[in-house]
Copies of this chain bind each other. A is one copy, B any other.
Amino acid sequence: MKKMVYNFSEGDKSMVQTLGGKGAHLAEMTKIGIPVPPGFTITTEVCAEYYKLGKKISPELWDAILKNVTKVETAMKKSFGDKDNPLLFSVRSGAAVSMPGMMDSILNLGLNDEILQGLAKKNERFAYDSYRRLLQMFGDVVMKVDHDHFEHILDSRKKTRGIESDTELTADDLKYVVDEYKKVIKERSGKDFPQEPKEQLKLAIEAVFNSWNNDRAIAYRQLNHITGLIGTAVNVQTMVYGNSGEMSGTGVYFTRNPSTGENKLYGEYLMNAQGEDVVAGLRTPQHIETLKKIMPHCYDELVKIYKKVEKHYKDMQDMEFTIEDGKLWILQTRNGKRTAYAAIKIAVDMVKEKLITKKEALLKVDPKQIDQLLHKQLDPIARERAVALTKGLPASPGAAVGTIVFTAEDAEKAKEDGKKVVLVRTETSPEDIKGMAAAQGILTARGGMTSHAAVVARGMGKCCVSGCSELIIDLTTKTARVGNTLLKEGDYITLDGSTGTVIKGELPVVDPEMKGDFKTVMNWADETRKIGVRTNADTPHDATVAKNFGAEGIGLCRTEHMFFEGDRIKAVREMILSTTELGRRAALDKLLPMQRGDFEGIFKAMGTLPVTIRLLDPPLHEFLPTKEEEMQELAREMKVSIKVIKEVTESLHELNPMLGHRGCRLVITYPEMAEMQTRAIIEAACNVKKETGNDIVPEIMIPIVGHVNEFVMNKKIVDETAAKVMKEKGMALKYKVGTMIEIPRAALTADKIAEHAEFFSFGTNDLTQMTFGFSRDDIGKFLPDYLSKGVLEIDPFVSVDQEGVGQLMQLSVQNGRRTRKDLKVGICGEQGGEPKSVAFCHKIGLNYVSCSPYRVPIARLAAAHAAIKDENRRE
C-alpha cells in the first residue's frame, strides 16, 4: 500500500499530483524551515481509493490519520480534544489543479461544548465565534443543513439587536447563536452535532472527499476541461488565530510591489482580525511597514521569510500570514499576480540580481498581460504641472480620463452612448463588474490594494485608484466631495493608476512607448524567438505605430479598406454600376492614382521591410449603399435612375456572401480589377524606390483561392501587368505573388498551389468560418451556449482551433513545402496576435505571425515563450 498520509515535513513542491497544490507548497515551506502551522495531507490517491471502497475510510487510513494527529499534537504541544489546551484543525480540500471555491472546507474542527469553555477562559467572544463558525460549516457541509437556516438565525439576532455587522455581535449574542445553531442542526438533520473531536474529523474528511464529486465541482472540471485528476487531497492543519487579541493579527503581502514591481515588501495587515477582514475591504488595512513599529520581531522574521521564500521559488510570492499571540505563522505562498508593468520590472530586476536567466525572466511576463502597457498614459509634462485633487492607492496602472458616473448602470449606459466615464464608488462589489468594464477607470473611497475594485481592475488591465479616503460620496445627489471641492456627475476627472493621483479636469494622454525595462524584455524576446512578427496595417499611420512596436513588416494590407476613404467610394460604386468592361476601366482609372498614393505612403513608412498587399477581398455589394436615401443620393451622383441602383443591388445580392463572388473569383470575372491594383502597387514601388533608393519588394497576395487554377489565372494577370508597368517605368523590380490560405480546399491542395505561389498566409478568420461552418456574423446566436455548455473550450475566432483548423494549417505547411522547399508561410487572421495561437504557429513552423499593431509586442513575447518552452521540452 502506498503512503496515504504525508506530514507537512514529508512532502515537497514536486508532489503536486499526490498532495495537491496547497499540500505540496505547505510541505515545501515546511521543508525549507518556514513556520507553517503543522499538519498533514491525505493524498489524492486515497480519495480515489475512498470512492473505490464505496465511500469508506479504511481502518488503515484512519490509523495513519490518527498517527499524524499525534505528531501534530507533539509539535504544537497541544492536544486534539483537550479542553484546557485544545488543538483545533482546519480541514481543506486541495486538488492538483486549483478549483477555487468548488469543494468544501471546515475550520475550527475539534471544538465542542466542553472545549469551548476552556477556550472561552482566554477570550470568550473569540471562543463562541469560532464555535458558531464550526457549527455553521459542519452543519452545512457534513450534516446537510441548508446554509440559509444559519444565516437566518444570525440575521434575526442582528435585527433584534439593531446592528449591521457580524463584528458588532457580543459574546452573549454569539452564545445565543450557538444555541440556536445546535437546535436547528438537531431539528433539520435529526442528529446532534457530534461532540467527539475524532468523529468530527472523520466526518469532515469524508465530506471533503465527497465534495470532489459534487455537481459544482464536476461542472467546473467539465467547463475548464480539467481531466486526468484522480481526486482531491485533504489538508488537515493546525488552526491559528489572528483575532485572538491585541498581540494577534493577520495579513497578506507580496514579496515585491505587484503594481510597480518595486523590489520592496508590499502588503497590508489588520491587528486582531481574521483573513477575510483584510480582503473584504470593510476596514482599511495598515501598510505592512507599520508592523515594524508595532511588532518588530515579527516584522524582522517576516522579512527574513519573504526573502528566503522568494529566492527559493525564484519568483515574486503572494503570501498569507497570521500572528497568534505574538507568534508568526505563514499560511500560504504562491506566485503573486502582478500588473504587466510589475511583471516586466520584476523580470528585469531578477535578472540583474542574478536570481534568474533571461529566458526564465521572459517566462515570467504573460504575453496576454502586456496589453496593459500598450494603452495610453498621462502626458508626463501635463501630469507634472497638474495639481492633484487627492491621492489614493495605485491599485492598477495606466491612465483614465472621463466624466464622472456614480453607478455601474450609469457607466454601462454611458458606454452605449459612446461616452468615456470614470466610475466613482465608495467600494465595488461583484454586481459592478459590467460597469467597471464599461468605464475608463475606477476610483474608490475605501478598500486596499487587494480590495475587490483593485483585483478586478488589474485583471481587466484597467486603471484603478482605490482607498481614496478623502473622497466622500453622496449617491442620492450624485455628487462627491474632496475637502471643499465638489464633484458632480458629468464633471471631468483624471486618474493616474500608477501613482494613485486623482486630478480634477481632463488631462491629455499619450500613446504608450516601448522603453526602459519593457524595451529590455522585448529585446530579449526578439533574441529568443524563432518566428517573425509582422502587422496587419492598411494605412501609413498604422504601419508606423506597428513599426514602433517592433513589427518586422506588413503581413496584411487590406486594399478594400482604402476603397471607403473620402470620395473613393464614388469611383468604386461607379465601377460596380458599369455594365461594360470599358465603363469599369474608366472608373478604375479614377481609383488608380488614389491606390497608388496609399501604397506609396505605406512603402515609405515601412522602409525596406516587406509589405504584403492583398488584392480586393469582399463581394462587391459591400460597397453599395443599403438605405433608400443613400441610394437616391448615389443615383443623383451617378446620374442614373434609382431603379438602376436597385437593380444592380438586387443582382449582386447574395444569400451567403461569405461564400460568394469575392476575392480571386471577382478577378476571374473582371480581370481589370486586378490589373488596376497591380498597376497601383508596382507603380508605387517604382516611385518609392526612385525617391528613397530603398529596394521595395512588394508581396502581392491573392485572396479566397480554393483551386490552383484560380491562383494561376490571377497570377497571370498580376505578372502581365507588372511586366507592362516595369517596361513603362524602365525599371526592374522584384515582387512576389502568393496566396491566402483561407479556404479549406486551398489547405488540402497546398502542394499544387505551392507550385505557383511564392508564399502562403493563413487567413484564419475565413478558414475558421469554413472549417467549422460558422458564420462569424451569425455565431452570436449559439456561441454563448457553446461556451457555457462546454461544447467549445474557447471561441475559435479568438484562438486558433488547433485540432481542426490547425490540422489544415499543418497540412498546408507540410504539403506546400514539399513542393516548394523555401515556401514562406505566415498567418494574418485575428488569432495571429493571440499567445496560444502564436505558440501553435511556432510549433508548425510558420515564418511569421501578423497581427494588429497593438498586439505586435504581445506576439513578440508569445513567440519567445514558444521558443523557450520548445527548447525546454527538448532538453
Binding site for B on A (CB under 8 A): 654-661, 665, 668-669, 704, 706-707, 709-710, 713, 742-745, 748-749, 752, 766, 769-775, 777-778, 781-782, 785-786, 789-792, 801, 803-805, 807-808
| Residue from the list B656, B710, B752, B803 in contact with A791, Cβ < 8 A | B710
- Please give, as numbers and ranges, the residues of chain B lying within 8 Å of A656 by CB-CB distance: 656-659, 775, 777-778
Q: Does the CB pair B660–A775 fall under 8 Å?
A: yes
Contact of A771 among B661, B748, B752, B804 (CB under 8 A): B748
Say yes or no: B766 contacts A773, CB within 8 Å: yes
- Which single member of B654, B704, B744, B778 contacts A661 (CB below 8 Å)? B778
Contacts of A773 in B (CB 8 A): 658-659, 704, 706, 742-745, 766, 770
**In the complex, which residues of chain B have a beta carbon less than 8 angstroms from the beta carbon of A769?**
659
Across the A-B interface, give the 6 residue pairs with the lowest CB-CB distance, nearest first: A659-B775, A656-B775, A745-B804, A655-B777, A743-B773, A654-B778
Q: Are A782 and B665 closer than 8 Å at their CB atoms?
A: yes
User: What is the minimal beta-carbon distance from A794 to any residue of chain B, in angstroms?
Assistant: 12
Determine if B749 and A713 form an interchain contact, defined as CB atoms under 8 angstroms apart.
no
- CB pair B707 A659 closer than 8 Å: no
Most buried by B among A669, A748, A808: A748
Structural contact, B804 and A668, CB atoms closer than 8 A: no
Sample of 5 more A-B contacts, CB < 8 Å, known A748-B807, A770-B770: A655-B777, A657-B778, A660-B778, A661-B778, A709-B791
Report yes or no: A778 in contact with B709, Cβ–Cβ below 8 A: no
B748 adjacent to A804 (CB under 8 Å): yes
Give the distance to chain B from A424, nearest Cβ to Cβ, in Å: 36
Specify which chain B residues have a CB less than 8 angstroms from the CB of A743 in the assembled complex.
771-773
Q: Once the chains are docked, how many angstroms separate the CA of A805 from the CA of B791?
A: 26
22 example contacts (A-B, Cβ-Cβ < 8 A) are as follows A654-B781, A655-B658, A655-B778, A656-B657, A656-B658, A656-B659, A658-B659, A658-B773, A658-B775, A661-B782, A668-B785, A668-B789, A669-B782, A706-B804, A707-B791, A710-B791, A744-B804, A748-B771, A749-B803, A752-B803, A770-B771, A770-B773
In the bound complex, residues from chain B placing their C-beta under 8 Å from that of A706 are: 771-774, 804
* Contact between chains at A668 and B766 (CB < 8 Å): no
Measured in the bound complex, the distance between the Cα atoms of B808 and A512 in whole Å is 47
CB neighbours (8 Å) of A655 from chain B are 657-658, 775, 777-778
Give A706 to B661 CA distance when docked, in angstroms.
25
Which residues of B are found within 8 Å of A710, using beta-carbon distances? 791
Partner of A745 from B742, B781, B805 at Cβ < 8 Å: B805
**Most chain B beta-carbon contacts within 10 A, residue among A654, A659, A665:** A659
The interface centre, meaning the residue of A742, A749, A791, A792 with most chain B CB atoms within 10 A of its CB, is A791
Inter-chain contacts of A654 with B (CB < 8 A):
775, 777-778, 781
CB A790 to nearest CB in B, in angstroms, measures 7
In the assembly, what is the distance between CA of A752 and CA of B801, in Å?
15
CB-nearest residue of chain B to A656: B775
Q: Is B748 a contact of A660 with CB atoms below 8 Å?
A: no
Which residue in B704, B744, B786 is a CB contact (below 8 Å) of A668? B786
Query: Bound state CA distance, A774 and B752, in angstroms?
Result: 20
Interface centre among A660, A744, A775, A781 (most CB of B within 10 A): A744
Q: Which residues of B contact A791 (CB under 8 A)?
A: 668, 707, 709-710, 713
Q: Least Cβ distance of A820 to chain B in Å?
A: 18
| Count of this chain's copies in the oligomeric assembly | 2
CB contact between A744 and one of B707, B744, B766 (< 8 Å): that residue: B744
Most-contacted residue by chain B among A656, A710, A791 (CB, 10 A): A656
In the docked arrangement, what's the CA distance between A709 and B793, Å? 10
B744 with A770: CB separation less than 8 A: yes
- Indicate if the CB atoms of B785 and A669 lie closer than 8 Å: yes
Residue of B659, B766, B782 near A778 (CB, 8 A) is B659
- Provide the bound-state CA to CA distance between A773 and B745, in Å: 8
Closest-CB distance, A618 to chain B (whole angstroms): 12
Bound complex: CA A344 to CA B62 (Å)? 85
Minimum CB–CB distance from A707 to chain B (whole Å) comes to 6
A774 to B771, CA, bound (A): 13
Assembly CA distance A609 to B28 (angstroms): 67
* Nearest neighbor of A654 in chain B, beta-carbon distance: B778
Min CB gap A869→B, angstroms: 25
Measured CA separation A770–B658 after assembly (Å): 10
Query: Which chain B residues border A707 with CB–CB below 8 Å?
Result: 772, 791-792, 804
Chain B residues in 8 Å Cβ range of A657: 655-656, 775, 778
CB A775 to nearest CB in B, in angstroms, measures 4
Q: A803's closest neighbor in chain B, by CB? A: B749
* Min CB–CB distance A819 → chain B (angstroms): 14
In the complex, residue of chain B having the shortest beta-carbon distance to the beta carbon of A805? B745
A466: min CB distance to chain B, Å: 40
- CB A474 to nearest CB in B, in angstroms, measures 41
Q: How far is the CA of A706 from the CA of B772 in the complex (A)?
A: 6
- Across-interface contacts of A744 in B (CB, < 8 A): 744, 770-771, 773, 804, 808
A771 to B773, CA, bound (A): 9
Give every chain B residue within 8 A of A804 (Cβ-Cβ): 706-707, 744-745, 748-749
Interface pair B789/A659, CB less than 8 Å apart: no
| Residues of chain B with a CB closer than 8 A to A713's CB | 789, 791
A659 with B748: in contact, given A669-B785, A710-B791 (CB under 8 Å)?
no
In the bound assembly, the distance between CA atoms of A777 and B654 in angstroms comes to 8
* A704 neighbours in B (Cβ, 8 Å): 773
* Alpha-carbon distance between A706 and B744 when the two chains are bound, in angstroms: 14
A778 to chain B, nearest CB (A): 4
A53 to chain B, nearest CB (A): 30
How many angstroms between the C-alpha atoms of A658 and B792 in the bound complex? 20
Tell me which of A710, A771, A790 has the highest count of chain B C-beta atoms within 10 A of its own C-beta. Answer: A771
User: Are B771's CB and A745's CB within 8 A?
Assistant: yes
In the complex the two chains form, what is the Cα distance from A785 to B749 in whole Å?
22
A654 to B665, CA, bound (A): 23
A162 to B656, CA, bound (A): 61
Q: Could you say which residues of chain B place their CB within 8 Å of the CB of A770?
A: 659, 744, 770-771, 773
Once the chains are docked, how many angstroms separate the CA of A792 from the CA of B749?
14
Tell me whether B665 and A792 are in contact (CB under 8 A). no
Expressed in whole angstroms, the Cα–Cα distance for A770 and B743 within the complex equals: 8
A570 to chain B, nearest CB (A): 24
Contacts of A803 in B (CB 8 A): 748-749, 752
Q: Chain B residues with Cβ under 8 A from A777's Cβ?
A: 654-656
Q: Which of B658, B660, B742, B748 contacts A781 (CB 8 A)?
A: B660
A395 to B275, CA, bound (A): 98
B808-A748 in contact (CB<8A): yes
Distance, CA A782 to CA B668, complexed state (A): 8
Q: How far is the CB of A615 from chain B (nearest CB, A)?
A: 16
B residues in contact with A748, CB < 8 Å: 771, 803-804, 807-808
Known: A655-B778, A709-B790, A709-B791. A745 touches B772 (CB 8 A): yes
How many angstroms from the CA of A777 to the CA of B804 in the assembled complex? 26
Tell me the minimal C-beta distance from A667 to chain B in angstroms.
Answer: 10
Complex Cα distance, B704 from A614, in Å, reads 32
State how many angstroms separate the Cβ of A236 from the closest Cβ of chain B. 38
Chain B CB within 10 Å, residue with most, of A668, A745, A752, A769: A745
Give Cα A659–Cα B785 distance, bound, in whole angstroms. 16
Residues of the B chain whose Cβ atoms lie less than 8 Å from the Cβ of A774: 659, 706
Q: Give the distance in Å from the alpha carbon of A731 to the alpha carbon of B778 in the complex.
A: 42
Specify the chain B residue showing the minimal Cβ separation from A711: B791
> Nearest CB to that of A704 among chain B residues?
B773
Residue of B nearest to A807 (CB): B748
Chain B nearest CB, measured from A797 CB (Å): 12
* C-alpha spacing A774/B808, complex, angstroms: 18
Question: Bound complex: CA of A420 vs CA of B319, how far in Å?
Answer: 88
Q: Which residue of B lies closest to A666 (CB)?
A: B782
